[in-house]
Amino acid sequence: MKIYRLLQTYLPPLRPAPNERELLPNRLHRPKGQHNSPINGLHAAIVPIATRTTVWYQAVLLGAIAVTGCVELKTDSCGDGSIDSRFEICQTDEGAILGNSPPGPEADLLQGKPIVGFNFDQEFSIPGEFSISGDSQISDDEAYSLPNSVRFTAPGNSYNRNYITLNISKTSLNERFFGRMMIFIVPAPQSQDSFGGDFTFVEAEGPPQTDLGKLTPPENMRVLYRYRVAANIRDNTLMANYDTWVDDNNDGKSDWPTNCYNHSEIEIPRGQWTCVQWFFEKATNQLRYWLEDEEIIDLRVQDSGERCLEDTQNGLWTAPETFERLHFGVEQYDVNALARTVYIDDIVIADKYIMCPQ
């Protein structure tokens, strides 16, 4: 906490001088879609090094994140009127959050760094820190921070996954972390009544905990925490999802089925840039979700949620032993799912709550 207070005191937010603005006409962080939240500040990487040497060095020390202030986030975690202050909300220099990825291979990039951010604006292909599945590629069709985002094109009609995947298994974030990103969901044609079927856009996975009381899950099972969009009667609403997957007999079904959910009545916007945030924690089996800095209380889960389609774990949403991989993009499940396109930009993973762009 002390380092953040010191940074708040000694590191002013990055602002280009008037004569510098003329040098950076295409690097201002501003929406290309319909998001109405302007961004103040520029990331150090786009400011001429001669004018921002000290600030750039300090930003790198924090893993490309320059924190400009912290305040406590008072939360009613139990929903009963009581208040706790276990979480801190950190306001950062938005540009620095979205700066270039630090150099080096994945192990060097992520080892021990508490904050990691990607805005995809310096790349012509997916950064090397990510593995890729399905139709996932850099695009300038839509971008929250110009000029690029990542476009995910899902074909529909069957199970498919179109992800970029970040390995956090060797980081300090592998048991507890916050996430934030911008997402743009291309609307389905207006002639179609359905939004296009449910899909996941954020997924954290890892191996199972071995001590579940009388339960002994398979060692090769994967435990999944998801941020997901629902379909059918709750079309286009946000949901929390917990699942466990192992298929040793290759029948296309999990040998340890759970598939649990919490539903909300909150719809995710389409055709505009939207900020989504989440918090996953192993110690408390906790999942929390936000939309534009507003927590979706109906999606808050600790230990157990609304319902499980299969009751193998007696309704428990037991976290993985460690969070090993984070997936971002589109994963579809239904044979009736429609083809869809989604853009994702400005991904931030941290040990503190990260605010949406203001």
Domain ranges of the chain: 1-100, 120-351
Q: Please report, for residues 14, 111, 122, 248, 314, the alpha-carbon distance to residue 119 in angstroms, rounded to integers and kept in the order given.
A: 17, 20, 8, 38, 40
Tell me phi and psi for residue 247, to 5 degrees.
-135, 70
Residue 109: strand, helix, or coil: helix
Fold for 120-351, please state it: Jelly Rolls (2.60.120)
Give tens-digit pLDDT for 332-358: 998 888 899 999 999 999 988 989 987
Give me the sign of the Cα torsion angle 15, 19, 24, 25. positive
pTM confidence score: 0.74
- Percent share of the chain, pLDDT over 70: 65
Predicted local distance difference test score (pLDDT) of residue 82: 40
Residue with tokens 């962080």: 29
Predicted local distance difference test score (pLDDT) of residue 93: 40
86, pLDDT greater than 70: no
Q: How far apart are CA 242 and CA 248, in angstroms?
A: 20
Give tens-digit pLDDT for 12-29: 333 323 332 222 222 223
Give tens-digit pLDDT for 102-151: 333 444 445 555 578 899 998 789 998 999 999 999 999 999 999 999 99
Predicted local distance difference test score (pLDDT) of residue 113: 54
- What's at 354, amino acid-wise? I
- Bond before 147 cis per omega within 30 degrees: yes
